[in-house]
């Protein structure tokens, strides 16, 4: 008996060692420059960038490319800064585009530094998704910089000088993301099981959370501050997202302010008196010389932001084209019982992970757009009456890279016409309305378990330009209902899908935005899964 056990143990050891050798050989082969670079969107660039005289493992490459990315980001920041030192020699609209690039480059430097610091240590599965989110956002930030120059008056002296570093940065960021996805995310995905609480609903009373401070904004002077901007400016810096919320209560009123929550203001909670009672309003637009990025009435990048019971409005109107009410680039951010009102480009879900619960969104062309991992749950989308010869597109998702963990997920929502669009009796004023169209090549949007009224065109989705992105996008529908949910005449694009429950689960709170990790502390109710 003992002899047999010894033989079995020896055989097991030999099999284990043989398997380990096979795995090690495969790993060595696949992490050569040719093997790893061929899995990136820019294989030739990847191969020529890697040092030819030095072998780098896949993990070493995952460190090498972010280091190169950080270097070129600093180069871009310095170059843009040099132009902004004398802005009066540059067209005003170009100055806005440069300002966008400067701010976004600064964010990218922070994100890359965080990534490089984190990958020096063993990563838990949730940390892997955090870093993939940062690397995805870095690409988005750079693309936003490029897009800004397309919206403004051409100024070749600036654009020609920036062309090469901006292009190289996109390739470095994309390669960094691809290698990280292959080296870490794939392993985390295979070892992480599904949530054990996907069918629970967290429904605690809002503000039964740790509150660090509470101040009041009232324009009549009876509060701590007369403006929202003053209250945000006075909020503590860099408190982290585990130290309780700094709560700013904004009493009912109309606030004509352009508000920005910077990266230093973390865990800020803005609480109003209700939709259409506490209203933040502005009217900036691209037609009036702003970039889309800067047209926002309200903009936030501070991690852990929460807004409750507020209306955010851009009153520029449909004739002014892109005019953003809210631009959100804050990771782990939440909007609860809020309203977003505008026409084209109302809600800019710019980057990182976002959750919207029981909100109203009004608009016309591409009125929910951007490249965050954004999940909207129990919200109402109200397409409005657009300009003559325009159509409505509810979403225009901006994923530019197949490795980005971004998209727009719409769950348990209600899509009905705003009052000015009309109803079925007048054929919605003859306006065609679509679920979305592909702003960027890998656009990704999912509608699931939602009511879709008859205003949605039977084809469901619309092209952006010819056959652009129709084979690379990912558009999907699951278990929707209502007159506009009939999929029998939907588009037949390669990238369009009718998905089952298993695939739909990938776009729920617990998987798509890892919401069970951070939403409970907000006190905002959410459903983690499909049930």
Contact 294, 96 (CB under 8 A): yes
Angle at 419 between CA 417 and CA 425, to 5 degrees: 70
51, two tokens = 């040092």
366 in catalytic set: yes
Q: In what order do the strands lie in the sheet with 268-271?
A: 211-217, 245-250, 268-271, 306-308, 333-336, 353-357, 373-377, 407-411, 444-448, 474-478, 496-498
Check 130, 168, 331, 366 and give the catalytic one. 366
Question: Which residues, listed in sequence order, are joined to residue 447 by a DSSP beta bridge?
Answer: 410, 477
CA 297, CA 127: separation in Å to the nearest integer?
Answer: 33
- 381 forms bridges with which residues in the sheet? 361, 415
Residues contacting residue 463 through CB under 8 Å, at least 6 positions apart: 437, 438, 470
Cβ(63)–Cβ(56) below 8 Å? no
Contact 282, 313 (CB under 8 A): yes
CA distance 189 to 182: 11
- State the Cα–Cα distance between residues 268 and 360, nearest whole angstrom: 22
**List of residues 6+ apart from 154 with CB closer than 8 A:** none
Q: Do the strands 298-300 and 326-328 form a parallel or antiparallel pair, or are they unpaired?
A: parallel
Residues known to be catalytic: 366
């Amino acid at each position: 008996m003992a002899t047999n056990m010894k033989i079995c143990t020896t055989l097991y050891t030999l099999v284990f060692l043989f398997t380990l050798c096979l795995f090690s050989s495969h790993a060595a082969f696949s992490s050569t420059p040719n093997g790893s670079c061929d899995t990136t969107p820019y294989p030739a660039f990847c191969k020529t960038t890697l040092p030819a005289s030095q072998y780098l493992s896949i993990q070493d490459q995952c460190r090498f490319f972010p280091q190169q990315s950080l270097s070129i980001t600093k180069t871009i920041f310095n170059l843009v800064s040099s132009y902004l030192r004398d802005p009066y020699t540059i067209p005003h609209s170009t100055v806005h585009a440069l300002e966008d690039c400067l701010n976004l480059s600064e964010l990218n430097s922070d994100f890359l530094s965080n990534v490089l610091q984190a990958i020096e240590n063993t990563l838990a599965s949730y940390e892997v998704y955090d870093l993939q989110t940062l690397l995805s956002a870095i690409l988005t930030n750079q693309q936003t910089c490029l897009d800004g120059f397309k919206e403004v008056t051409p100024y070749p002296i600036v654009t020609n000088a920036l062309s090469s570093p901006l292009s190289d940065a996109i390739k470095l960021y994309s390669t960094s993301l691809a290698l990280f996805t292959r080296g870490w995310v794939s392993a985390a995905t295979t070892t992480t099981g599904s949530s054990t609480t996907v069918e629970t609903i967290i429904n605690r009373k809002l503000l039964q959370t740790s509150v660090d401070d509470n101040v009041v904004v009232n324009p009549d002077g009876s509060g701590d501050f007369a403006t929202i901007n003053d209250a945000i400016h006075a909020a503590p810096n860099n408190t982290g997202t585990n130290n309780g919320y700094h709560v700013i209560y904004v009493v009912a009123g109309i606030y004509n302010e352009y508000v920005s929550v910077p990266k230093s203001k973390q865990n800020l909670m803005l609480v109003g008196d209700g939709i259409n009672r506490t209203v933040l309003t502005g009217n900036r637009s691209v037609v009036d010389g702003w970039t889309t990025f800067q047209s926002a009435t309200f903009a936030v990048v501070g991690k852990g932001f929460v807004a409750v019971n507020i209306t955010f409005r851009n009153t520029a109107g449909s004739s002014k084209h892109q005019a953003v009410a809210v631009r959100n680039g804050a990771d782990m951010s939440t909007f609860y019982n809020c309203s977003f009102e505008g026409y084209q480009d109302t809600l800019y879900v710019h980057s990182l992970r976002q959750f919207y619960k029981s909100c109203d969104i009004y608009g016309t062309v591409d009125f929910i757009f951007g490249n965050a991992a954004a999940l909207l749950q129990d919200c109402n989308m109200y397409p409005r009456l657009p300009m003559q010869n325009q159509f409505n597109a509810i979403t225009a998702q901006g994923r530019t890279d197949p490795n980005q963990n971004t998209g727009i997920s719409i769950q348990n929502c209600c899509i009905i016409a705003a009052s000015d669009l009309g109803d079925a009796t007048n054929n919605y004023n003859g306006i065609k309305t679509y679920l979305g169209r592909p702003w960027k090549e890998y656009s990704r949007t999912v509608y699931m378990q939602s009511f879709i009224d008859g205003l949605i065109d039977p084809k469901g989705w619309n092209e952006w330009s010819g056959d652009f992105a129709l084979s690379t996008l990912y558009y999907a529908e699951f278990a929707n209902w209502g007159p506009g949910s009939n999929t029998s005449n939907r588009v037949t694009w390669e990238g369009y899908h009718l998905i089952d429950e298993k695939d739909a689960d990938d776009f729920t709170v617990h998987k798509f935005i890892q919401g069970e990790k951070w939403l409970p502390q907000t006190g905002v109710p959410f459903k983690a899964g499909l049930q």
